[in-house]
A and B are shown apart, each in its own frame.
Chain A
Amino acid sequence: EVVMTQSPATLSVSPGERVTLSCRASQSVITNLAWYQQKSGQTPRLLIYGASTRATGIPARFSGSGSGTEFTLTISSLQSEDFAVYYCQQYKTGVNFGQGTRLEIK
């Protein structure tokens, strides 16, 4: 099983700030990595797949990078609607999700 570890668990940030979320895999997943956003009470939404490709309709302020075992999701300038929980998911070997990073308003 591939264990996905996200850090930090919670991040307090202000609107307009640039933020970087991290995701680490216990073994290489190459670029078979996706990111999701889940707002409170809502369904998860795909943001990024292939480690760096934005899904349809996702704003350009969201970007993903990394390969192998280290990945990041960057939001260039936080908007009020971006405060949510973010999950990474590997899909190289089966499927595993990280435990999530909660972005909260500072």
Chain B
Amino acid sequence: QVQLQESGPGLVKPSETLSLTCIVSGDSITSYYWGWIRQPPGKGLEWIGYIYHSASGSTKYNPSLKSRVTMSVDTSMSQVSLKVNSVTAADTAVYYCARLGANYYFDFWGQGSLVTVSS
């Protein structure tokens, strides 16, 4: 069964770049789309984007975050990465990595990584 493990700094300063990595095990990273979702403390889920491994790095981002988000796939390391630049306190959230099923729903989720934006 697929397992997803997010990792990255728990604290990021305002205006800096948030960087997270999701290590994929138990499944082929080249067989699926992979996505990121975030959840501010006490609030609902917000889709960030998803990516496929192809040479073109096919991606689709939430329009509201598109200008600040970059995703990538490293097939040699079996990991998916997320970068969000110019962060503010509003970017404080638990960030989840997830596998996309046959269509664009999320069938397996990582445990999540809490990122706090604060000086």
Contact = CB atoms under 8 A, between A and B. Distances in A.
A1 B103 CA distance: 18
Interface residues of B, number: 22
Nearest to A49: B105
A46 B99 CA distance: 11
A43 B112 contact: yes
Given A32-B103, A49-B101, A87-B44, A94 B63 contact: yes
Contacts of B45: 36, 44, 87, 89, 97, 100
B46 interface: yes
Interface residues of A, number: 21
B105 A91 contact: yes
Nearest to A91: B104
Contacts of A13: none
B67 to A, nearest CB: 16
A50 B104 contact: no
B44 A43 contact: no
B62 A94 contact: yes
B85 to A, nearest CB: 21
B34 interface: no
17 contacts: A43-B110, A43-B111, A44-B37, A44-B45, A44-B96, A45-B109, A49-B103, A49-B105, A50-B103, A87-B44, A89-B45, A94-B60, A95-B35, A95-B47, A97-B37, A97-B46, A100-B44
Given A44-B37, A95-B35, 10 more contacts: A32-B104, A34-B106, A36-B106, A44-B106, A45-B109, A46-B105, A91-B103, A91-B104, A94-B62, A95-B62
Interface of A: 1, 32, 34, 36, 43-46, 49-50, 55, 87, 89, 91, 94-100
Listed from nearest, the 6 A-B pairs whose CB atoms lie closest are: A91-B104, A34-B105, A95-B47, A97-B45, A43-B109, A49-B105
